[in-house]
Amino acid sequence: MSDTISLPMRFGSNSGQSVTRRDGIAKVTGAATYAADNHPDGMLYAVFVPAAIARGRVTHFDTGAALAHPGVVEVFTPQNPPPVAGNPDEKPFMFAVPVEVLQSDRIRYARQPIALVLGETIEAATEGARLLNPRYEAETPRIGMDAEPATKAPSGPFGQPAEVIYGDVDAGMAASQQSVDLTYETPQQYHNAMEPHAIVAKWDGDRLEIDTPNQAIVLSRGFYAYYFDIPPENITIRSPYLGGGFGSKAVPYSPLVLAIAAARKVGRPVKLALRRDQMFGPVAHRGATRQQLRIGIDAQAKMTALDHISTATVDTFDSSFPEPACNASHGLYAAAALRSTMMTVRNDIGVPGAMRAPGEASGSAALECAMDEMAEKAGLDPLEFRLRNYAEREPGTDKPYSSKALRECYAEGAKRFGWAGRPMRPGQMTDENGMLVGWGMGTALFGAPMFAAEARATLRPDGTGLVETAASDMGQGAWTALAQIAADSLGLPLDKVEFRSGTSDLPDAGIAGGSGHTATAGGALHAAGKDAIARLAELAAADPDSPLYGTGNSGVTARDGRLFATGDESRSEAYEDIIARAGGSAVEGKGNASRPPEDAERHAMYAHGAVFAEVKIDPDLFQMRVTRMVGAFAAGRIINPKLAESQLMGGMIWGTSFALHEEARFDKRSGRIMNADFAGYHIPVNADVKGLEVITVHEDDPYVNPLGIKGVGEIGVTGSVGAIGNAIWHATGKRIRRFPIRIQDLL
């Protein structure tokens, strides 16, 4: 009967508003309960021993000394690992990773967990772990881009082909009037969310309750079910608050699995929280890349060929996550021919994984700098060069874009930044303090994926709404933006809608990743709300006492807690009145969202942007400051401008981090990261991120999904790195092709 009810596709007053984050006050006042804040009765503290070598075997532990400590309850080593079902050396699902759960004495990377100590206190467990005093048989670790010969990756990390080819790149290069052939390097970056990984695991027979920050709550149940041979329904994962995720909290990593196994073995709840230094190994990172880019252009500066070979460091035992840097070259510029190739070099490191804009971040850093170098050679303004190679349809596939307001991003960003006044040659500008000034730009690009999600929406007898889906709010504001979508779908003001989320007992909201969470979970909530309203409308339309009696075919509109007859607004009724006369039971709707494959066949879907950066460099000390950045982004419908701008700004700050700060530095003899703390692993502070400005460019996208939403979580990183690198050249005349760019590179 719902086909007789027409609900106009339109948005209420909640979407589009800059609502402040609903979890914000709880988070900043300490009222929010993070995973590690949980203390179930009888809980033990777990501390793992990180391997001090990167390759070899652990040969001995002073287990007796650790057990002799009065506060130590249990010690697990490869001699007596807590049981785990399934094969920890295999990955049970595409997004999972092999785990180290003491199944062997082999060490495959530094800081791999090689023993676990349980104590009555955190101090006892820490001291017990120290007393274990492991001894090793070390082998020479393979570290760095030249550790082994590069080999072609079997595929990309998400199953994408390792090689993408259209047109004839060699012919295109041969026919070019001018060309560049450049190699860039990007370092390993390690996940360092404010909240390190943590877990509190509690067993009750074959039921498992877990408190852990998680970006894919329902999916992760399946991983844990595999490792512990219980049905996923027996597992509850609670993840109400996360202190950042960025891709590392989407799948379970070794320390978390180990803590659950230990809890089962000793029959007591166990808490394990990673120390900051323990983040540098077992919980994924962005692989290093070496990227060769060849670009050829014709006499009109149109690209005849783009050849992008990216070699990425991977671990030795899984090797399935090469940082997919080549992604950045697909779908953006109208090159007549393209070839991209993913290569890998095996290193004795933990598994790489998804880290904010995996692929596009590293790839666009190289591509956007190469575009700048090509523009310089062609004697063209870098923006003009990009406009000459603007793709009207997706290169290679020839699909139309579902929407693409990149031209507007270029124009609005350039205008706000003042790009028109930029001298072509480098080293032309100084400020009043004698600082060298440079301006650079880069194009931003990220896909607009959708995953699969389900949601439930209930209209309660008092006229308020309840919406439920297992979404993750990592700090991006999902609880707020998703609640805005849900409130609109129910025709209610935001404060009349209760939003339940953050536990795996709710309908699956899919993964909070890939910049697809708002579109996916929001789509499901929207569908659920519409379904609830349709059911409510059926009740009213069938009730002779309702002013809406018989509205079936003309339809209703839901607004402010009332249904209105379409075209005759004098006929309306409040939700609670409809429900009361129908017997007083809540009205429940269900919805789901995913992208039909035929939609993806018809259109290429991306968010786009343009980033402009100003740097100032001390001519004597070569200290670099990013003094201004303008990012203009087109990402479909913006549900909450304040939150979207914060996400985009966060991405641009990450871009600054990538360009100037972040790098894991290895001691090649030991294979250990030397700067595994915030004293040595640099990220931007406030003084490093002055003058950020974000513009969101209007974009209506009727194809990307019913709500017209693309994502904003990752695109801000892309484009920003290149913009800064290019600005540094513009200030100094020096092309630094290795990130992060350091003072010594400019001397």
Binding site for ligand MOS (CB under 6 A): 215, 245-247, 250, 354-356, 358, 513-514
Angstrom distance (rounded) from CA 408 to CA 730: 24
Closer to ligand MOS at the Cβ: 119 or 359?
359
Closer to ligand MOS at the Cβ: 453 or 741?
453
Closer to ligand MOS at the Cβ: 195 or 538?
195
**Minimum CB separation from ligand MOS for residue 517, in Å?**
9
- DSSP designation for 695: E
**Minimum CB separation from ligand MOS for residue 477, in Å?**
14
| 556, β-bridge pairs | 565
Q: What sign does the dihedral 428-431-433-436 (CA atoms) show?
A: negative
Closer to ligand MOS at the Cβ: 125 or 250?
250
Closer to ligand MOS at the Cβ: 514 or 708?
514
Closer to ligand MOS at the Cβ: 517 or 672?
517
**Minimum CB separation from ligand MOS for residue 318, in Å?**
18
**Minimum CB separation from ligand MOS for residue 513, in Å?**
3
On the CB side of 636, CA atoms within 13 Å amount to: 29
Q: Residues 6 or more apart from 480 whose CB is under 8 A from it? A: 19, 20, 21, 22, 23, 640, 643
Known catalytic membership, residue 468: no
**Minimum CB separation from ligand MOS for residue 202, in Å?**
27
What Å distances lie between residue 724 and 420, 509, 696, 715, CA to CA? 18, 36, 20, 15
Residue of 412, 573, 614, 714 marked active site: 714
- DSSP designation for 495: G
Q: What is the largest CA-CA distance in the chain?
A: 85
DSSP 674-692: S--STTTS----GGG--SE
Closer to ligand MOS at the Cβ: 63 or 647?
647
State both tokens at 367.
């591509």
Q: Residues 6 or more apart from 220 whose CB is under 8 A from it? A: 214, 237, 250, 251, 252, 504
Angstrom distance (rounded) from CA 13 to CA 570: 21
Give Cα 675 distance to the centre of its chain. Answer: 24
| 210, β-bridge pairs | 201, 237
- DSSP designation for 420: G
- DSSP designation for 709: B
500 neighbors 521 (Cβ within 8 angstroms): no
- DSSP designation for 37: G
**Minimum CB separation from ligand MOS for residue 215, in Å?**
6
**Minimum CB separation from ligand MOS for residue 247, in Å?**
3
344 neighbors 314 (Cβ within 8 angstroms): yes
586 neighbors 459 (Cβ within 8 angstroms): yes
- Count other C-beta atoms under 10 Å from residue 523's C-beta: 27
Task: State which residue has the least CB distance to ligand MOS.
Answer: 247
Closer to ligand MOS at the Cβ: 228 or 246?
246
Angstrom distance (rounded) from CA 207 to CA 181: 58
- Count other C-beta atoms under 10 Å from residue 37's C-beta: 14
**Minimum CB separation from ligand MOS for residue 518, in Å?**
13
Closer to ligand MOS at the Cβ: 215 or 572?
215
> Which has the closest alpha carbon to 450: 329, 330, 605?
605
**Minimum CB separation from ligand MOS for residue 515, in Å?**
7
Catalytic residue ranges: 714
